[in-house]
Amino acid sequence: MKKIALILLLMFSVSVVFSQEQKKPKVGLVLSGGGAKGLAHIGVLKVLEESGVEISYIGGTSMGAIIGGLYASGYSATQIDSIFKTTDYDALIQDYIPRSTKNFYEKRNDELYALTLPFKKMKIGIPRALSKGLYNFNMLNKLTHNVRHIRDFNQLPIPFLCIATDIETGQQVLLNKGSLPQAMIASAALPSLYMPVEIDGKLLVDGGVTNNYPILEVKNLGADVIIGVDVQDDLKDRDALTDATKILVQISNMQMIQKMDRKRKATDIYIKPDITAYSVISFSQGNEIIKTGEDAARKVIDQIQKVGNAEKPVKRMVPLQRDSLFVSEIKTNQLENYNRTYVIGKLGFKAGTKISYEDLDKGINTLSATQNFSGIGYSFSKSASGNDVLSMTLVENPIKTYLKFGLHYDGLYKSAVLLNVTQKKLLFKNDIVSLDIGLGDNFRYYLDYYIDNGFYWSFGLKSRYNTFNRNILTDFNNGELLNLFGLSSINIDYSDFTNQAYFQTIFAQKFLIGAGAEFKHLKIKTKTFEATDPILENSDYVSIIAYLKYDSFDKKYFPKNGFLFCGDFQSFVYSSDYTKEYQNFSILKGEMAFSKTFFNRFTLNLQSEAGFTVGEQTVPFFDFVLGGYGYNMINNFRHFYGYDFVSLSGNSYIKGAVGVDYEIFRKNHLNFTANYANIGNKIFDTSNWIDRPNFSGYAFGYGLETIIGPVEIKHSWSPETKDHQTWFSIGFWF
């Protein structure tokens, strides 16, 4: 009997435990949107894991959708914390496209203009948004690699849903199927900041517009207990509405706040972090915001522990991270103006190849850099062989014409406003024409027509006009005129009119190689010599050109890493010969530069360049000319610290420079550069060019990266002349 009683007691105990396990409540987690304030969700998740709370369902909006989606895919709170602490938020907001993914044409044009506006039907428009959101999308695709084939969010490690808004109807859209990264991006597409995302024919924006706290949707999944984290702002008074971002947030919050009172009462464990000191873009204060989430969760720790088990903290499985994909097939939607070959060419990889996510990001960014697509989406599905099928959805950009603007000042060309008109598909599907006009102290223009055939031979036409007036220390003629009149400088009016036709292609997937023909009219006059002809040069020249270029710098101005090589050959075959002394000659020149950043702030810059002429008789007005800094270099004019603009000249030269740049704080630079050179006529005919440099100069400088380009001040001096020069420049060089 005792044995039977013991057995019955044990069975009863097991049944009670089993019953208790069966009755363990299913916890639903609701995460609201709030931009950077949503980082507080990470702090809450940390406390929930410490308290042993097993999350059964997650629903989120905007930033809540991103953090919730990552948690649902398998990440722990600590992992998500690490992800967000290492994220470049400037790149995230600006939709940063690495310079390395742009072709040489795009590099030049992206480094000229402060403002770009669409132009259609004789009307100037404004961009639909500041960012396409591609940087975010690429990042989330990589982070969700382990669940990339799942199309039903109920099949994720934790069932998940998020909310977006149909911009056409104003209705909320529940996203619980499809591509997880695309759903998260759509839910967080803040109007005006990010482009709307098209899913199933619907144009979607931030879910916070319609439902910033999806409690009912999570309950419908089967949640017994709701833990809600609310990082929404309360309505602010007029004194607090000081900028456009705050006004947009206020408008977005109006409806939500009215609904929130009812939703708050329906929340079993309500967590409200103190985020009053932060805005939707306060990403630089991420650590503080995460801490507010932890603090708010600990205030209700007693309630949290009732649905958890503090003795068994949650330890989540780390998603298996891989950086490679075997793409067995590439699918694209039907396009009107571009074929599959064009898309594959820009991607840079073909079906049946193994790629890294870096390769994928580079290909997607290359497509984006063309500006031919206003929307780029992609997802992965599993093929019959278990490999990845890449499905791409591209939206062609309806805008073909753009107006662009810039500003610049330097000591040579003086001040100018840059106006640009860019037209795509003028004659062919893959052509582009761009006209720059510089209005200011010295009129300039630059016309470029280019047919882009990618890795195949491309064709282009260029035309430019440059002019300046300045007192210079060289007469382009070995000082003969200066010595004759006993002068140290002359005032010149310099004008250059150049036209090129060229072919070029990408060589070895890295180098740009090209060749063509050039027509140039060069006119130089002076009023310094009153008793002589004021015209020093007024000739036409025809030449054959060839070039090889490689540029991996991450930035043109203040580069942190990368390598540059340029090699040019120009052979003059004809001249109208104003001076009656012309003979055919050639010019060869090359440049190498290297930048490497150490300790995140110190950048070492190395540069070397050289050039020489071939021929018994050369034209001195094509000599290499050194001096000055901060201007757009044309012909054979080159920067050189320690000497004023256009100070040193010769038909051959060699120059080296070493510099150190220290970013004292974000986008603010202190730098020091030393440069050395030998320059003269036929310096390479003897061994003297390898002797101690004849010319040297040094410069201290401060630079600031701004939306209109670099703002720089340089103070330089030369031990040879004892002269000091101070130069100021502002804006992108043109």
**Would you say 65 and 183 are in contact if contact means Cβ atoms under 8 Å apart?**
yes
Q: What is the 3-state secondary structure (H, E, C) of 600-660?
A: CCEEEEEEEEEEEEECCCCCHHHCEEECECCCCCCCCEECECCCCCCCEEECEEEEEEEEE
Q: What are the Cα distances from residue 219, in Å, to 30, 52, 224, 267? A: 10, 21, 7, 10
**Would you say 105 and 450 are in contact if contact means Cβ atoms under 8 Å apart?**
yes
- The angle at the Cα of 37, spanning 35 to 38, to the nearest 5 degrees, equals 70
Question: 32, 62, 374, 696: which one is catalytic?
Answer: 62
Q: What are the Cα distances from residue 496, in Å, to 183, 462, 473, 521? A: 54, 13, 19, 6
Rounded to whole angstroms, how far apart are CA atoms 651 and 624?
6
Rounded to whole angstroms, how far apart are CA atoms 33 and 191?
13
All domains of the chain in start order, with CATH: 25-94+131-304 (3.40.1090.10), 322-394 (3.10.20.310), 399-729 (2.40.160.50)
- Give average pLDDT by consecutive 10-residue segment, the chain, 734 residues: 50 45 80 92 95 95 95 93 84 75 76 84 71 85 91 96 94 95 93 85 90 94 94 73 66 67 89 89 89 94 90 76 84 86 85 90 87 88 89 89 93 93 88 93 94 82 94 71 67 93 82 94 84 82 96 92 96 89 92 95 96 88 93 93 92 96 94 96 80 91 94 96 93 91
Residue pointed to by tokens 């310079």: 99
Rounded to whole angstroms, how far apart are CA atoms 64 and 360?
27
Structure tokens at 464: 């430019």
Give residue 55's identity as a one-letter amino acid code. Answer: I
**Residue 709 per-residue DSSP state:** E
The reported pLDDT for the residue numbered 245 is: 60
Residue pointed to by tokens 């720059």: 436
- The angle at the Cα of 646, spanning 644 to 647, to the nearest 5 degrees, equals 60
The reported pLDDT for the residue numbered 18 is: 42
Rounded to whole angstroms, how far apart are CA atoms 59 and 635?
61
Rounded to whole angstroms, how far apart are CA atoms 633 and 241?
46
Rounded to whole angstroms, how far apart are CA atoms 418 and 190?
32
Look up 206 and say whether it is catalytic.
Answer: yes
Question: 81, 95, 206, 623: which one is catalytic?
Answer: 206
- The angle at the Cα of 644, spanning 641 to 645, to the nearest 5 degrees, equals 100
Q: What is the pTM of this model?
A: 0.79
The reported pLDDT for the residue numbered 261 is: 78
Q: How many residues does the chain have?
A: 734
